[in-house]
Amino acid sequence: MLKPNVLFLCTGNSARSQMAEAFARHYAGDALEAYSAGLEPKGLHPMTIKVMEEIGIDMRAHTSKPLSDFLGKIHFSYLITVCGQADKNCPAVFPGMGRRLHWGFEDPAAATGSEEERLQKFREIRDQIQERVRTWLHELGIPIRNGG
């Protein structure tokens, strides 16, 4: 059986979708292929890299990618939107898409305040995404690896 492909989609592909992709890769290993993209890619947010490094996941090689890099090129078993804007503006169906899910998370890049307050928001969203990815993998029957 072919392993499932999953695409995590948000508006900027700078934080939430990137974290979800990284967690799916980290916990599922080669049981699935994880990707992320944005409707309007903005580049990987430096605080995304920082908060993921805090828990041992190196994202320095990650880049923001547009949805057009994937449309019609890869069959996705799952398309998971992680922000309301992407859920609202993503095509309801496109070639090569299986099941569409929506996991709404607050945008940590929109946080205001001191650097520590903004980092705390990134950590909060990171932890929510981590838990949601682990729960989803469990629902799919994919064994969690790497301290899961």
What positions carry a catalytic annotation? 10, 83, 90
Q: Strands across the sheet with 33-38, in order?
A: 33-38, 5-10, 76-81, 97-102
Q: Pseudo-torsion of CA 9, 15, 16, 22, nearest 10°? A: 90
- Cβ 38 vs Cβ 10: under 8 Å: yes
